Structure 1
Amino acid sequence: MLRSSSLRLCQTVARSHTRRSASTTSSVPSLTNLETRWKTLSSEEQSTLTKQLVDLQKKDWHELSLDQKRAAYYVAFGPHGPREPRDEPNQGIKVLAGVTISVIVSVLLFKWSRHGIPTPRTFDKEWQEATNKLMREQNSNPIT
């Protein structure tokens, strides 16, 4: 009696387990390498995948497979749609070259604009010596 009841219990558990695993595998399409296949999918397939992933995320996350977690992360935060990068190749080099050229041109324009202006006469060495001599004669305190 005990043996037959335990046997029936094991069979029902096995059946329910196979039903449960069959229902989850049939409802979820292949999510492996979703990052590479996302652009080739039609918009309808993308929306159905998104809806299925939303439903999967409502369950316990410990039950999700690694592919399902990766697919959910990619759909939520992946570089597709408005988050797709618009950078061209070698754009960093182009930006660096543009900034470098702008700085060099600015420095050259500054030097050229200051080139024609004569230095003030108060910058001469004789003027500075005469100013220091006058300050000593007047006992001027340069701090106060």
Structure 2
Amino acid sequence: MLRTSFARVARITPVRFAQTQALTKASIVDLSNRWEAMPAAEQHDIVSKLTERQKLAWNELTDTEKQAAWYISYGEWGPRRPVHGKGDAAFIAKGVAVGILGSVCLFALLRSKAPDAPKTMNKDWQIKSDEYLKSKNANPWGGYSQVQSK
């Protein structure tokens, strides 16, 4: 029984020491610029070490470890990478402005080439058709007004 107790202590002690050992500053400094270029094995190693360090009291972590943990958890990498880059907003705004300007110009061109309105859109024609419908008592509940403009 005494031998098993010593064996347990011997197995636990190095693991517990490894958990409390701080990460080297060189491995986690400027992590936001290096993270995506790092090999997956190194990323996994840093994540596992930071996970073990975060099980300790928060004030035992160094500032660089806190920054690295925050970046890994909430930083702009992987699925949280922004869809548009820094200069894309101006490019998109210019494209939208050009599209709107082009559609307005196309509308004005087509409108200028369009024929005159049909004679049934004339106000006199609409008033006469109103009088005709009144004389025939056509649809008094829904209204029989044919006048389109005031």
- Which residue does the alignment assign to 2:142? 143
Structure with more of its chain in helix, by fraction: 1
- In the alignment, structure 1 segments of 5+ residues that lack a partner are 1-19
Q: Does structure 2 conserve the Cα–Cα contact (< 8 Å) formed by 1:38 and 1:46?
A: no
% same residue: 25
- In the alignment, structure 2 segments of 5+ residues that lack a partner are 1-15, 144-150
Q: Deviations over 1:34-59 (max 9, x none)?
A: 446646x96476554333112223x2
Q: 2:121 aligns with which of 120, 123, 144?
A: 123
Are 1:110 and 2:111 counterparts?
no
TM-score by length of 2: 0.57
Letter in 2 for 1:102: G
Write the distance in 2 (CA, Å) between the matches of 1:37 and 1:134: 80
| Closer/same/farther in 2, CA of residues 64 and 123 from structure 1, 3 Å limit | farther
- Which residue does the alignment assign to 2:24? 29
Are 1:78 and 2:75 counterparts?
yes
| Closer/same/farther in 2, CA of residues 64 and 120 from structure 1, 3 Å limit | farther
Calculate the aligned-residue CA RMSD, in Å: 3.7
Letter in 2 for 1:132: D
| Closer/same/farther in 2, CA of residues 46 and 32 from structure 1, 3 Å limit | closer
Query: Which residues in structure 2 correspond to 1:89-100 (within 5 Å)?
Result: 89-100=86-97
Name the SS for the 2:117 alignment partner. coil
Write the distance in 2 (CA, Å) between the matches of 1:37 and 1:106: 43
